[in-house]
Amino acid sequence: METLSLYLQFAMAGLTMGTIYAMVGIGFSFIYRVTTVLNFAQGEFLMLGGMVAITMTSIFGSPLPVALVIGILTVTFTGMLFHLGAIRVLGKAEPVRMILITIAGSMFLQGVAFLIWGTDDYTMPSFVKVGTVTLFGAAINSQVFPVIFAAILITFILKIFFDKTIWGKATTACAESREASMLLGINVSRMGMLSFAMSAGIGAIGGILITPICMMQYQKGVPLAIKGIAGAVVGGLGNIWGAMLGGLIMGLAEALSAGVIASYFTDVVVFIILILVLFMKPEGLLGRRR
Amino acid sequence: MKKMNWMAILIYVLTMTFMVGLTHAADTIKLGASYGMSGRIGWIGGDCVEGAKLIIDEVNAKGGIKGKKIELVEYDTKNEPDTARTVIEKLIKKDEVVGILGPVTTTEVQTVTPVVEKNKIPFVVVSGGIEINEKILPEYKKEGKKSYMWALSVGTERQNEVKVLWLKKKGYKNLGNIEPLDQMGDLSQLTYKAWCKKYGLNVVAEERFDNKGTDFVTQMSKIKAANADSIGSMCSGAPAVTLVKNRDQVGMKNVPFMLSDANLSKRFIELLGENTANVYTVAAKIEFVSYLKDSDPQKKVITDFQKKFKEKYNKEPKSWFFAAVGYDSALMFIKAIEAVGIDGEKMRDWLEKQTKFEGAQAFYSWSNLDHRGIGVDQCSVMGIQGDKWVPVD
């Protein structure tokens, strides 16, 4: 293999991981934008989505679209319950408290998944039947295309949601100032629930789509969440395009550092980038100063 | 009246406890089982104990060893190093066992080793990752110490030797090595390098990867760029599946991929899906007994063991390998005690001299530099055929 196509291969591998991280980051950014809370249970929403869809296809033999819909609905409902049962009752609107609750929620959901599915890894067939696509000598897992497509589609839909709908505008208002929104007659707590439900649904889509690439297991959420948060922070927390960009940067940095330097440097490189961005542009690449 | 009843019960209980203690102290030989029996991989301990009880009950039914019955004292280590340490202390101090079976995992073994060796009690573990042959025995030899640990699995070093020998036989020259970033990976990388040097293969690439990662195409394409004609690893489970998929993705489907023996399960083959071509690992004879020639003396030993197991428990164990390890561990103590009595040091010295020890897993040959004892001739490279692991030539 020539050097050029080797580097292209690294880039493609980075793209694969990057889109996965982007998918996680979008959920983080979305919920942060509305509630100014980092939801550490976001990784578990992905895991649950993947697990439910796998169960539907492999045990109940349902077709892929049905599994997709049921997976998304189940996790969306879980997100709503999570907000209703934990955040609203215990959170008292203090961000620190809410963050702690999301960490507890992450552990709780892992525990539930462990009880249901055990410790086994599960996989499901690729959505695209082509298998591997070769581009200028670089091989790409074709499952990456639905992930990229979904990430872009979700970003567009969210853009429209925030800019054009009354609900979207209301959620943005909640993020700007809770008190002012309340005075304007916006049901802040309902908006919080809406944002948890939506980000859970987004997480579920991501989880289901990446399962054919990296499989699913009850502990898979946490490492994904860490990379997703890093990506979202680099791109600018609260900015959906930023989460995508940040995720891609993280993935590319990881693949290129593993390819050009060595595998044990990947985390070092990733966190150097994170620190550099926080130093020079603390609000993230696409974030805006508050 | 009420008081009287309580007193009577108390006296009765005390006497009985005393009697039980007395009789046990008098005519039983105690062995300790410190396997993880609960939690994630608790079934492993379950299999081991059932295997051990098979031979212990058999010997007891025939009157025990020189008139003394054998008693197996079981505690659950939960596969946690801290619990394992407590369990081992209890076995040694309270139960005064003469030999210990287990623990299973490498971290547990590392934690309990100092305690057991201080008390000069032989113990037989399962761990494939403990560096008993690679590091501990050579170091002890230099220092003039004696190791009391035996490990009844093929182990990283021997496994990789079998793999490299097979690759050499098939005419492969350039091995690409890819290992997870952990202790097991370090060890495997070293042993691959050593065996390749010994048997005349080149290690053309040495890659590492994070076990929690999602995709290892980068590392695989580097191995491809280095023109490797074979790949070696000690990876297992989900990351191993991803590695194989990535190998096929970069177009190296025809390159044999040697993986860890921890992948010897149907579940692993299911996870691989369509990517089962040229995937190999190594197993001892217990895993492929039906493929052994009738002339092989081990075939009878293994089939007898399997028959006895099924008759006693009316089921098959989850893994014949772990049941056989439990059986062999108990058998080692029984034979050693028959030969030299219950002194720990004498037992270990005796065990170290045994060659062709007829176990259910393999015929072991131990020495002061080999406490695993499973030779190259006791193993085979395994490939996938349909939904089964089968030995390959």
Domain ranges of chain A: 21-131+145-241
* Residue A280 C-alpha, separation from nearest chain B C-alpha, in angstroms: 28
The pLDDT value recorded for residue A179 is 82
Which of B40, B181, B267 minimises the CB distance to A263? B181
Q: Which residue has the tokens 């629930």?
A: A193
Alpha-carbon torsion (A253, A255, A258, A261), positive or negative: negative
Q: In terms of CA atoms, which chain B residue is nearest residue A6?
A: B221
* Residue A90 C-alpha, separation from nearest chain B C-alpha, in angstroms: 32
| Domain with residues B29-154+301-375, CATH architecture | 3-Layer(aba) Sandwich (3.40)
Distance, CA of B194 to CA of B48 (rounded, Å): 33
pLDDT tens digits for A159-174? 899 889 998 888 888 8
The pLDDT value recorded for residue A272 is 92
Which of B208, B212, B267 minimises the CB distance to A264? B208
Bridging pattern class, strands B257-258 and B230-232? parallel
Q: Which span out of A214-228, B16-30, B194-208 was modeled with the highest average pLDDT?
A: B194-208
Chain A / chain B CB contacts < 8 angstroms? 84
The structure's pTM equals: 0.83
Written as six digits, the tokens of A25 are 């980051």
The pLDDT value recorded for residue A85 is 83
Distance, CA of B286 to CA of A233 (rounded, Å): 53
Average pLDDT of every residue of chain A: 88
Alpha-carbon torsion (B4, B10, B13, B15), positive or negative: negative
Distance, CA of A161 to CA of A158 (rounded, Å): 5
Q: Tell me how many degrees the CA angle B253-B256-B261 measures, rounded to the nearest 5.
A: 120
What is B156-285+378-391's CATH number, 3.40.50.2000, 3.40.50.2300, 3.40.50.10490, 2.40.50.180? 3.40.50.2300
pLDDT tens digits for A251-272? 999 999 988 888 888 888 988 9
* Residue B250 C-alpha, separation from nearest chain A C-alpha, in angstroms: 5
Contact status, residue A20 vs residue A230, Cβ threshold 8 Å: no
Which of B210, B217, B248 minimises the CB distance to A16? B217
Q: In terms of CA atoms, which chain A residue is nearest residue B236?
A: A121
Residue B25 has pLDDT above 60, yes or no: no
Contact status, residue A106 vs residue A79, Cβ threshold 8 Å: no
The answer to whether the Cβ–Cβ distance between B209 and A263 falls below 8 Å is yes
A47 vs B contacts (CB less than 8 Å): none
Distance, CA of B333 to CA of A264 (rounded, Å): 44
Mutate to test the interface with B, among A4, A7, A114, A123 (most CBs of B within 10 A): A123
A266 vs B contacts (CB less than 8 Å): 210
Written as six digits, the tokens of A192 are 């919080």
Tell me whether B183 touches chain A (CB under 8 Å): no
pLDDT tens digits for A34-79? 888 888 999 999 999 999 999 999 888 889 999 999 999 999 999 9
Contact status, residue A214 vs residue A50, Cβ threshold 8 Å: no
pLDDT tens digits for B125-168? 998 888 898 889 999 999 999 999 999 989 899 999 999 999 99
Residue B59 has pLDDT above 70, yes or no: yes
A10 vs B contacts (CB less than 8 Å): 218, 221
Q: In terms of CA atoms, which chain B residue is nearest residue A254?
A: B218
Which of B225, B251, B271 minimises the CB distance to A123? B271
Tell me whether B242 touches chain A (CB under 8 Å): yes
Which segments of chain B belong to CATH 3.40.50.2300? 29-154+301-375, 156-285+378-391
Burial class, B177, CB count within 10 angstroms (exposed 0-12 / middle 13-18 / buried 19+) = buried
Residue B274 has pLDDT above 60, yes or no: yes
B217 vs A contacts (CB less than 8 Å): 9, 12-13, 16, 139, 141, 255
The interface predicted TM-score (ipTM) is: 0.82
Residue B19 has pLDDT above 70, yes or no: no
